[in-house]
Structure 1
Amino acid sequence: MTGPLETTPCTLPLVEVCITEFDLACLSATGAVFDRLLALHPAQVVVDLSGCRHIDAAAIGLLLDVHRRLARADGVLTVRNPNPRIRRILHTARLDQILPVVDTASSSPSCTPTMGQEPTSTPPALVAHGRASVRAPH
């Protein structure tokens, strides 16, 4: 006899991920990064697309999968700073009706910090920041 699924409580309040390439060619590696990230049980995952020039249907499918997995654990997936072209793609796919798609002010942190730039404030405790390089096999 099985009971209701137990949800694991969130252990991190926020994880931010910067993605610069997001298409079928790198989907396997990107999916593996998300799998490891979701194992941390974050309450919120922010995917920063400010450095991304293209997104395809496979990437949108991965975002939906990550959204569903987070929602089951009462987590939230947010897409931040997509360029106008990607924003149109997300709108056409109606992804913007399923999860938050937000823009931040130009003074906020982005995926590509300027060399020698010092942070203006101390990051909040328990926020995971990281960089994962995903390269497609040639």
Structure 2
Amino acid sequence: MSGPLATTSCTLPLVEVCVTEFDLGCLPATGAVFDQLLALHPAQVVVDLSGCRHIDAAGIGLLLDVHRRLARTDGVLTVRNPNPRIQRILHTARLDQILPIVDTAPPPCTSSAGQEPSAPPPPLVAHGRASVRAAN
């Protein structure tokens, strides 16, 4: 294929995906979900790993593939809330130098029941969510 790459405008500003298993065993199902969501041409994909206990080289490879595919259309992949073990793995693989890895703070607690928080909650930004679980 020759010539300039065709760019596709983004149709969604943000898609969030909660991944609970990220290894070779669930790679086909997880990859299929990413294929479907990338077809929506999101500007940003956030992969929430807060419920994920394990990631292996196949999962890291899939993250890199999604990152490359998003970058072709000026999209951004962000990894959110990996546990300390997964964060070390991502750091060792130097993924933290390629894509943003963020920790979000837990929601603020109210001081007593029934009281409204002092500041309104931030607006919901997510326009799509998918949960991926490994098939047993």
TM-score (norm 2): 0.84
Gaps of 5+ in 2: 109-120
Question: Is 1:26 the counterpart of 2:38 in the alignment?
Answer: no
The answer as to 2:3 corresponding to 1:15 is no
Percent identity of paired positions between Structure 1 and Structure 2 = 77
After superposition, what is the alpha-carbon deviation per residue over 1:63-108, rounded to whole angstroms, capped at 9, x for unaligned? 0000000000000000000000000000000000000000000118
User: Where in structure 1 are there 5+ consecutive unaligned residues?
Assistant: 109-119
Amino acid at match of 1:51: G
Q: Which residue of 2 aligns with 1:117?
A: none
Task: Give the C-alpha shift of residue 134 in structure 1.
Answer: 3.2
Residue 130 (structure 2) pairs with residue 131 (structure 1): yes
**2:74 aligned partner:** 74
Alignment RMSD: 1.8
Structure exhibiting the larger radius of gyration computed from Cα positions: 2
> Counterpart amino acid of 1:123?
L
Q: Which residue is equivalent to 2:63?
A: 63
Q: Which residue of 2 aligns with 1:114?
A: none
Per the normalisation by structure 1, the TM-score is: 0.83
User: How far apart, in 1, do the equivalents of 2:16 and 2:101 lie?
Assistant: 14
SS of the residue aligned with 2:131?
A: coil
